[in-house]
Chain A
């Protein structure tokens, strides 16, 4: 295990019957690193988080947190993780502060540090003013912030964020990201987050794309983008598109095609010819647009599907699998 690694999984797998919800997942999260588990709903992200937080026993494989095995030392592991769930897990009948006090008690935060830590996390998420109000009076964004504050009270080595910004407005979403980045910088904790938002994955240092329970690609966002089918897509509008088309084909061997009022062509990954092509271009270019590949394109290329097209959860997939076997 890498010295800087906080979390390492070893062929982590979970089967429900003969349905593989998670299969052979190998992941690593280092200190100060945000790792994203990106995939459509039902890909196995939440199941992975559940296994890592010792709520669900893996069918095969295991994982280690700071060297503690999740199967052999579940309570040590729990002490080291902070989890921010997809749905609220606060007690609405308690005040914000009481929710934090409860957390301190069950995580055995030293008694003489509690008041100071609670004050600190409340300030960090800007909830000091409303700390003594009942949580049922909080807005969705305030609740999520309180959960983040709570997840940090026991100073975990790793933070799991399960779809941390689902259902939040863009402004709150941005604030939450600010907190997360700040935390990583200040405390050097590792973060493992799941998301099906492509834009959010861009915040990660490292991304693992998961589909149907398997990790199909992993790397930094830049590395992953090299896995898109095409590199940059270039769209040009010229005075004479037909002549330009022929010139591109004959001089540079680029097969362009007509597109709208102009033409478009693709440059393969790592191709550096664009500057020369444009410098040599025989006629005036009226308009140019360059489309760089996104993670969406990467997912599309790897799976042949769009990430948002798949809105089924693991349970639905399980049902479909069972129906196929004639069990339902």
Chain B
């Protein structure tokens, strides 16, 4: 394995991210909107359904939303690189395709996790005060979830040649994943068809694990969650590598 190559790709994407601060700050708006407006707006109606304060219930889901949006969006760097020629430098280098994809996935995960951490900083706003140990676990969890989701993004981006195309396809993927994940409503007592859809959604398990860590409420179990998210990530990575080779 070409570790240094992976590291080079990761380092470059991470540097580029820190240089585009607008992207970091721009994405703070979305969680704030969800937390403050949706959270408080739906609180009276949802109180009974969730059994706990709705703003607390929705909080892990909002972190999950940050992760999915940032992870999938980070894959546009591939389209960006193709458009501006840098991808050629990477493609002719003595670097295996798997190293490129893993480097990109790690870059995206780093970016998403940092965004996730920024969102996590709003926890006191809804009355949550995670301990340092909790925060550490949440970080590891965020890395795993965003690695899986970034791999999905790379899989999509490797077949796309335009930003517009990626935008529409990713919305086609991101929105359903988010709405079917149990981020904004509990997964119990759903109609059967909806239950089935949420059960095959990897983000359901990611959000469930996150909710378990933050407010100690599980729908599945932490082991099921980790296996589902990890398995999904491995599958996406395995599919993305050969796809990337052809692009």
Against A, the Cβ 8 Å flags (1 = close, 0 = not) of B83-127 are: 011111111111110000000000000000000000000000000
B94 and A78 form a contact (CB under 8 A) = yes
Please, which residue of chain B has its CB at the minimum distance from the CB of A160? B92
CB of B12 within 8 Å of the partner chain: yes
Kindly list chain B residues whose C-beta atoms are within 8 Å of the C-beta of A54: 92
CB of A15 within 8 Å of the partner chain: no
CB within 8 Å for A106 and B19 given contacts A85-B88, A89-B85: no
A89 and B15 form a contact (CB under 8 A) = no
B7 and A105 form a contact (CB under 8 A) = yes
Total contacts A-B at CB 8 Å: 68
CA distance A310 to B88 in the complex (A): 27
Kindly list chain A residues whose C-beta atoms are within 8 Å of the C-beta of B234: none
CA distance A111 to B85 in the complex (A): 26
Kindly list chain B residues whose C-beta atoms are within 8 Å of the C-beta of A92: 84
CB of B16 within 8 Å of the partner chain: yes
CB within 8 Å for A106 and B88 given contacts A78-B93, A94-B16, A98-B15: no
CA distance A108 to B5 in the complex (A): 8
Please, which residue of chain B has its CB at the minimum distance from the CB of A98? B15
* CB within 8 Å of B: which A90-121 residues: 90-94, 98, 102-103, 105-108
Number of interface residues of B (CB under 8 A): 26
CA distance A79 to B2 in the complex (A): 13
* CB within 8 Å of A: which B1-36 residues: 2, 4-5, 7-9, 11-12, 15-16, 19-20
Number of interface residues of A (CB under 8 A): 26
Of B4, B84, B89, B92, which contacts A108 at CB under 8 A? Answer: B4
B86 and A106 form a contact (CB under 8 A) = no
Kindly list chain B residues whose C-beta atoms are within 8 Å of the C-beta of A55: 88, 91-92
Min CB–CB distance A95 → chain B (angstroms): 10
A88 and B85 form a contact (CB under 8 A) = yes
B5 and A90 form a contact (CB under 8 A) = no
CA distance A81 to B94 in the complex (A): 10
B8 and A75 form a contact (CB under 8 A) = no
Against A, the Cβ 8 Å flags (1 = close, 0 = not) of B66-90 are: 0000000000000001001111111
Min CB–CB distance B76 → chain A (angstroms): 14
CB within 8 Å for A106 and B94 given contacts A94-B12, A94-B15: yes
Kindly list chain B residues whose C-beta atoms are within 8 Å of the C-beta of A105: 4-5, 7-8, 11
Of A76, A87, A106, which contacts B85 at CB under 8 A? Answer: A87
CA distance A91 to B88 in the complex (A): 11
Min CB–CB distance A86 → chain B (angstroms): 9
CA distance A272 to B85 in the complex (A): 53
A79 and B94 form a contact (CB under 8 A) = yes
B91 and A106 form a contact (CB under 8 A) = no
Of A53, A87, A91, which contacts B12 at CB under 8 A? Answer: A91
What are the 8 tightest A-B residue pairs by CB atom distance, in nearest-first order? A105-B8, A78-B94, A89-B85, A106-B93, A89-B89, A89-B88, A79-B94, A75-B94
Known: A85-B85, A85-B88, A91-B86. 19 other contacts (CB 8 A): A53-B92, A55-B88, A75-B94, A76-B94, A78-B93, A90-B85, A94-B12, A98-B12, A103-B93, A105-B4, A105-B5, A105-B8, A106-B2, A106-B8, A106-B90, A107-B94, A108-B4, A108-B5, A108-B94
Mind listing 9 A-B residue pairs with CB under 8 Å? A55-B88, A76-B94, A89-B88, A89-B89, A90-B85, A90-B89, A91-B86, A102-B11, A107-B94
